[in-house]
Structure 1
């Protein structure tokens, strides 16, 4: 209970709670765009945004920073697209420090670091917010498809289509007009499925690049010194490249 009281009295937490990512009097605000882009329900989107705020709070206050879940990271990605809101309002006015999004360089060593930081983030979440991280937002076993999985998917499609084509070629109707028609349709389906599989593989490559190859998220916050609440303290946060988290404030 004491932890919750301290949290509610924290000016940073109050600013985050009062801050809305949705601009007033617009037809297509941030939450609607996020919901559409990720195919989330409105209620799940609202929940994800609230958890994003909690992540940002942890990122700014924990000595070793924090590591986001995949869902939280999607909200962060979208927020970064709103550059004016993020860099001209959110960071200087709400966080009162810079918060950069820097992916790791990948590799087994950094992936192991990520697991440790992520577990520490969940532990700190429980201690600070006095509740369990929602499993639909903070799944510890989130998995991003690997290149091998997508290549396997492509090979299975090719094998199935090859078998079907061989069976069709052996049929007695393959030289008829109807056979030629089905050959054209069959070829078109093959091309569409292969393009779809390759596109999926390309998207996976992009995700793996951003997450270190195994779903690992590493971020650093840039050095910044600005006036804190009431001008009585100076908020600063810095960490070297590859530190894997966002440094805390004073």
Structure 2
């Protein structure tokens, strides 16, 4: 009860709750566009927007920042498209801070750090909002990054092993093995070509907004021109799309 009372009396929380992403006069408002783009139901979209507001609150109030889930990140990306609403109303009037979107260096070390930050975000969510983060919005796939590759190469090894046994059992084993190794050569070449184009396609898709490394940084810094007294404090949040989710941490001033 005490936590909920603190939230109710928090000016930032009040402003977020009273803020609507849908323009009252829009024939095709934000929520409908988001639902259409992501193929979500209207009820799921409303839930995602509600959780997006909670994420923003965490991002701007926690000392270590906050990390978005994939679903929340999609809402955020869509909001960033509405540049006038985002930069001229949401940031200056509601957050009274700037909330930027910058690329990070990426890499395994960053991904591991992001993974830890996301767990901290969920922990803070439970403490502040006194409830479990809705699984349909906050659930992340935290499987090891190389699991798919291990499965992929395991199947190749099994196939090659089967081919070796078949050809080694032929009457002319030396001739059979010669054909076997020739087939291996061409098979490996084909696999490498397919793998190259597959990786390129996936990389192009994932890095549209990341400048080529698939990782994002979000910075929430103070804006001295909008009623926060020119404070130099701010928070940074980051999202590593290579492991499918969000991450975050606090940084210096904007």
Unaligned runs of 5+ in 2: 157-196, 239-246
Change (3 A) 1:217 1:70: farther
1:103 is displaced (CA, Å) by 3.3
CA distance in 2: counterparts of 1:248 and 1:16, whole angstroms: 24
> Is contact 1:125–1:133 with CA below 8 Å preserved after alignment?
yes
> Is contact 1:49–1:72 with CA below 8 Å preserved after alignment?
yes
**2:136 maps to 1:132:** no
- Partner of 1:172 in structure 2? none
1:97 is displaced (CA, Å) by 0.7
After the TM superposition, which residues 15-164 of structure 1 pair with which residues of structure 2 at under 5 Å, given as runs?
15-141=15-141
> Is contact 1:100–1:220 with CA below 8 Å preserved after alignment?
yes
Determine which of 233, 245, 249 is the counterpart of 1:245. 249
- Greater shift after overlay, 103-112 or 27-36? 103-112
- Greater shift after overlay, 212-221 or 61-70? 212-221
Which structure is higher in strand share? 2
1:132 is displaced (CA, Å) by 0.3
1:27 is displaced (CA, Å) by 1.1
- Partner of 2:4 in structure 1? 4
Q: How far does the alpha carbon of each residue in 1:105-146 deviate from its partner, in whole angstroms, 9 at most, with x for none? A: 210000011011101100000000000000000013267999
> Is contact 1:223–1:237 with CA below 8 Å preserved after alignment?
yes
Q: Name the Cα RMSD after superposition.
A: 4.0
> Is contact 2:21–2:31 with CA below 8 Å preserved after alignment?
yes
Change (3 A) 1:203 1:56: same
1:101 is displaced (CA, Å) by 1.5
TM superposition score normalised by structure 1: 0.68
Question: Aligned to 1:137, what secondary structure does the other structure show?
Answer: helix
Change (3 A) 1:91 1:236: farther
Q: How far does the alpha carbon of each residue in 1:29-65 deviate from its partner, in whole angstroms, 9 at most, with x for none? A: 0000000000000000000000000000000000110
1:223 is displaced (CA, Å) by 4.8
> Is contact 2:235–2:251 with CA below 8 Å preserved after alignment?
yes
Q: When the two structures are aligned, how many residues end up with a matched partner?
A: 206
Question: Aligned to 1:225, what secondary structure does the other structure show?
Answer: coil
Q: How far does the alpha carbon of each residue in 1:147-206 deviate from its partner, in whole angstroms, 9 at most, with x for none? A: x77xx7xxx9xxxxxxxxxxxxxxxxxxxxxxxxxxxxxxxxxxxxxxxxx799635543
Unaligned runs of 5+ in 1: 157-197
Q: How far does the alpha carbon of each residue in 1:54-100 deviate from its partner, in whole angstroms, 9 at most, with x for none? A: 00000000011001000000000000000000000000000001001
CA distance in 2: counterparts of 1:211 and 1:123, whole angstroms: 27
Change (3 A) 1:50 1:89: same
